[in-house]
Structure 1
Amino acid sequence: MALKNFKLQILSRAKIEVDEAAYYYESKNKGLGKLFYLEFKSYSKTLTNIPFFEEKYNIVRTLPLKKFPYTIHFTVDENEKLVSIQAVTSNYQDPNTTRIKL
């Protein structure tokens, strides 16, 4: 099955979470924040080509990063060919305090 490229939308709260994580890693080791951002960007690009990863919470799908303990939470609208990144959460974050409110 040939897939057409999907458009990518990153919600404001997900952008904030990426920025916060990158800032945290950069504060720990110079250049590490940039590596986090580049990995997130690479995985986001993957979602525009292959968005059908594990459906975890009702309609929310997840894609864990490989080098960092974070997971991308996103939805897919097949009709509109749109992937919406809802949140980027730490795997150590308490799920009761996450910003995800769907």
Structure 2
Amino acid sequence: MSFKIVFEPRSIFDIQDAVDYYDSRQIGLGEYFYETLEKHIEVIIKSPFFQVKYKDYHGLPIKKFLL
């Protein structure tokens, strides 16, 4: 069975908003958030069978990240 990562168009804006917000709190924190997000995406690609959140969508929440 083949899986793919799908980003809703609005999610790209939400991710950018989060990066901007974290950078406004501390320089470099936005980049660190984005790197953390990328690592989580890689985990989902390698092992997509996480708890079903919405119908056929699977998710891996980012609980916390620290510098």
Q: Which TM-score tier does this pair reach, normalised by the shorter chain?
A: 0.7 to 0.9
Give TM-score scaled by structure 2 length.
Answer: 0.78
Q: 1:58 to 1:5 in 2, by over 3 A?
A: closer
* 1:14-35 Cα shifts (integer Å, max 9, x gaps): 1111111010000000010001
Q: Larger % of strand: which?
A: 1
Counterpart of 1:35 in structure 2 is: 32
Which segments of 5 or more consecutive residues in structure 2 lack a partner in the other structure? Answer: none
Q: 1:61 to 1:5 in 2, by over 3 A?
A: closer
Identity of aligned residues (%): 34
* 1:30-52 Cα shifts (integer Å, max 9, x gaps): 01000100000111111111111
- Across the aligned residues of Structure 1 and Structure 2, the Cα RMSD in angstroms comes to 2.0
Which aligned runs of 4 or more in structure 1 are off by greater than 6 angstroms?
Answer: none
Which segments of 5 or more consecutive residues in structure 1 lack a partner in the other structure? Answer: 69-102
Count of residue pairs brought into register by the alignment: 65
- Please, which of 18, 22, 36 is the counterpart of residue 19 of structure 2? 22
Identify which of structures 1 and 2 has the higher relative contact order when contacts are C-alpha pairs closer than 8 Å and 6+ apart. 1
Q: Larger % of helix: which?
A: 2
Name the CA distance, whole Å, in 2 between partners of 1:62 and 1:47. Answer: 8
Counterpart of 2:57 in structure 1 is: 60
